[in-house]
């Protein structure tokens, strides 16, 4: 049984390092490829894909490697049906650890590149098209994660989840934040990956809607979960709790 404190540490660390990868690679991309937005996005997305895959492999056996409040909420909701998921107390702890980790990760990235530790982003990301992009990105993410879980293929989750996020960088209008904690964290850095604080609520609401859509799609494809359905993302973690 893995203690809740260890799982919360894994979620804090994993979300923090994920945001450090996203923000740090964005700063590096701006430095190496000034004025070349497409190349900057390619560099940023490539680093994110590899970083996310590694973090899931390393921390998945401890906490499930959610790193995302929407994933944790979907896990909690699935658990209400299967009896195998996060409790309300665990969900609250996961979300808090993820948000604090994301903020810390942005601050760490800023400090590594000699930027002010906290600089509120001025990049406005607020339009119906961008919100729709976040609904699509988040729904797809939930579908990928829980479809793998329900079909017993969690071993490929690191590769599949990272690949989906990398693709969604390019096919969604919002460049696929798909994560409320990461969205909040990115508001703390006025760099390539930043989002203005005023734009955060719209993105988070769109992500929550996307999470519901994704979960409904999973239910439509696989039906109600049984008691033997493991938790996301890495199946090995569920057996060790």
Both tokens assigned to 56 = 């899931």
Give this prediction's pTM: 0.93
**Distance in angstroms between the alpha carbons of the first and the last residue of the chain:** 4
> What is residue 238's predicted lDDT score, i.e. its pLDDT?
43
- Distance between CA atoms of 136 and 126, rounded to whole angstroms? 16
Per DSSP, helices labelled H in the chain are 4-32, 37-63, 69-82, 88-112, 128-150, 157-171, 180-186, 200-222, 235-239
Q: How many residues does this entry show for the chain? A: 241
Q: Give which of 56, 64, 36 is closest to 163, Cα–Cα.
A: 56
For 4-239, CATH number? 1.20.1080.10
Q: Are 207 and 216 in contact (CB under 8 A)?
A: no
For the chain, the domains span 4-239
- Distance between CA atoms of 137 and 197, rounded to whole angstroms? 20
- Distance between CA atoms of 60 and 7, rounded to whole angstroms? 10
Both tokens assigned to 5 = 């404190």
- Distance between CA atoms of 180 and 68, rounded to whole angstroms? 7
Task: Name which of 15-24, 29-38, 224-233 the model is least confident about.
Answer: 224-233
> What is residue 227's predicted lDDT score, i.e. its pLDDT?
65
Question: What are the pLDDT digits (tens) for 47-102?
Answer: 999 999 999 999 999 999 999 999 999 999 998 887 788 999 999 999 999 999 99
Kindly state the DSSP code that residue 197 receives in the 8-state scheme. G
């Amino acid at each position: 049984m893995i203690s809740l404190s260890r799982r919360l540490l894994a979620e804090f660390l994993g979300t923090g390092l994920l945001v450090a990868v996203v923000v740090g690679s964005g700063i590096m991309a701006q430095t190496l490829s000034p004025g070349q937005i497409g190349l900057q996005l390619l560099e940023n997305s490539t680093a994110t894909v590899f970083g996310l895959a590694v973090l899931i492999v390393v921390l998945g056996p401890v906490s499930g490697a959610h790193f995302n409040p929407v994933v944790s909420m979907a896990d909690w909701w699935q658990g209400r049906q299967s009896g195998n998921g996060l409790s309300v107390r665990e969900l609250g702890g996961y979300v808090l650890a993820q948000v604090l980790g994301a903020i810390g990760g942005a601050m760490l990235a800023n400090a590594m590149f000699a930027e002010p530790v906290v600089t509120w982003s001025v990049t406005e990301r607020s339009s119906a098209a961008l919100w729709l992009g976040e609904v699509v990105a988040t729904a797809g993410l939930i579908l990928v994660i829980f479809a793998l879980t329900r079909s017993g293929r969690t071993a490929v989750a690191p590769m599949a989840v990272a690949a989906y996020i990398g693709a969604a960088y390019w096919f969604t209008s919002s460049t696929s934040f798909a994560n409320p904690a990461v969205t909040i964290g990115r508001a703390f850095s006025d760099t390539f990956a930043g989002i203005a604080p005023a734009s955060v609520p719209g993105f988070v609401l769109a992500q929550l809607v996307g999470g519901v859509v994704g979960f409904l799609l999973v239910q439509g494809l696989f039906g109600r979960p049984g008691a033997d359905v493991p938790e996301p993302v890495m199946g090995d973690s569920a057996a060790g709790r």
